[in-house]
Amino acid sequence: YRGIAAANEAIAGAELVDAPDAEKTPVVAQAYFMRAFFYFHLVRLFGEVPYLTEPVSASTAEAQASISKSSVEDVYAGIISDLEFAETHLPNTQSARSLPSKGAAKSYLALVYLTKAGTSGTADFQLAYDKAVEVINNSGTYDYALDSDFQNLFNADAIDASKEPI
């Protein structure tokens, strides 16, 4: 929840930053991506979890302590909404692979839909397929490619230069 808290602070704090939207919106999109990333792992591990989208301050800490868990479906809806925002506002590529890009948001949406589909979610299977195909068909736009040497994926000295990790 520390990562979620940091993302919520960044999202809320962006409104206080005096900068053009073109500069701050991609940074806010990174926060949305990270919040979705953290919640995706929480909901898969624990199911229903408290879903917080606002910063917790000293004045709201007591109210937040009594928050109830959100349904799995509501958490997934929030994850998808956050990733869709990220997909819209992140750049196609980043200066470092550790920063989320539009391709990463689309890839995570595919993973989220595939996870939601389970073994019988036909609509979610199609959504997962559609997002995955978008990434595959636009691999050049997102600067993705399979590494010519599979062992590079396990080499700490070579992995940062690889185009394979999303």
How many percent of the chain have pLDDT more than 70? 96
* Residue 64 predicted with pLDDT over 80: no
Residue 86 to residue 28: CA distance in whole angstroms:
8
C-beta of residue 79 within 8 angstroms of C-beta of residue 108: no
Reduced to 3 states (helix: H, G, I; strand: E, B; else coil), residue 70 is strand
Question: How far apart (Å, rounded) are the C-alpha atoms in residues 138 and 142?
Answer: 6
Position 161 confidence tier, pLDDT thresholds 50, 70, 90: confident
pTM of the model: 0.92
- Between 4 and 97, name the one with better pLDDT: 4
